[in-house]
Amino acid sequence: MSKIFAVANQKGGVGKTTTCVNLSASLVANKRRVLLIDLDPQGNATMGSGVDKSDLQLSSYDVLASLLPPRKAIVPTASGYDLMPANIDLTAAEVELLEMDGRESRLRQALAEISDDYDYIIIDCPPSLNMLTVNALCAAGGVLIPMQCEYYALEGLSALIDTITQIQRAANPDLKIEGILRTMYDPRNSLTGDVSDQLNEYFGDRLYRTCIPRNVRLAEAPSFGKPALDYDRSSKGAIAYLALAGEITRRESAAKQNHHSHDNHNSGPRPVAEAV
């Protein structure tokens, strides 16, 4: 079973797509099998992965709108992860989904077919809380929230958390906040430190220790259709995303060990009175 992460924040320009592309490449560098799903009609994750969004035969639109088997829409990338690409066609899916039965669970239904093919499935959500984002949140087990350490970021975060809570109640009780990722991080800025402290206080160990710095090479890489890891492996941005991938995989191993030891603890001999 794959771990499915929705990378979401309705505020634009916080580094969602950068995180999706670079985390996918970094998880592959950690020997994980990864699928990146582009659910944003802008198709930036598609272009940033070196795939031409204007030349797609099939895309995530077909998977959502006509329940095309997802394997037919998936293409390999030069960076080693698989991609379910997107383009402007996806805008039509937003409207069409509103008319459909089970509209919020179309993606979950589609991914059930391929969840054993990958260790991680990462979904790049559009920068709004629309039906595409709802589909991603219904399909995911965890939400990874990239955010800048600035005043307005905290305001947007509370709206997203409300949406996550509503979806937990209505459609996906397994959904949880996987982690908060600080992006475009500048430690010299005093506001950055203040917001960081607030996030730490509120989210505790769900705040990733890794911070993604402002980095020219990281910003340049998408125009070459590459993750930073392939564009400039020694750049601070590439190194930070490798660190994030390491942090995510270590968390997963620790969770598995806890679960395993908990199961062993529970499966020991029961007291006679309880066994009777």
Determine the Cα–Cα distance for residues 159 and 165; give it in Å rounded to an integer. Answer: 10
Helix (H, G, I), strand (E, B) or coil at 251: helix
Question: Taking a C-beta distance cutoff of 8 angstroms, is the pair 213, 240 a contact?
Answer: yes
| pLDDT of 254 | 86
- Is the C-alpha dihedral spanning 7, 9, 10, 15 positive or negative? negative
One-letter amino acid for residue 145 of the chain: I
Q: Are 137 and 176 in contact (CB under 8 A)?
A: no
- State residue 155's pLDDT score: 79
The two tokens of residue 225 are 């259709």
Q: How far apart, in Å, are the Cα atoms of 97 and each of 42, 62, 93, 133, 202?
A: 18, 12, 6, 12, 35
Which residue type is seen at 231?
Y
What residue ranges do the domains of the chain occupy? 3-267
CA distances from 205 to 19, 176, 179, 213 (A): 19, 13, 8, 20
Torsion of CA 152, 240, 175, 259, to 10 degrees: -140
Distance between CA atoms of 192 and 4, rounded to whole angstroms?
29
pLDDT of residue 269: 46
Handedness of CA 44, 89, 138, 109 (dihedral sign): negative
Query: What pLDDT, on the 0 to 100 scale, is given for residue 187?
Result: 86
Enter the pTM of the model: 0.92
Tens-digit pLDDT string for the chain (276 aa) = 899 999 999 888 899 999 999 999 999 999 999 999 999 999 999 999 999 999 999 999 999 999 999 999 999 999 999 999 999 999 999 889 988 989 999 999 999 999 999 999 999 999 988 999 999 999 999 999 999 988 777 877 888 899 999 999 999 999 999 999 999 999 888 889 899 998 999 899 999 999 999 999 999 999 999 999 999 999 999 999 999 999 999 998 888 888 777 666 554 444 333 332
Query: Domain 3-267 belongs to what topology?
Result: Rossmann fold (3.40.50)
pLDDT of residue 264: 62
**Res 271: pLDDT:** 39
Q: What is the pLDDT of residue 276?
A: 29
Q: 75-76 and 207-213 as β-strands: parallel, antiparallel, unpaired?
A: unpaired
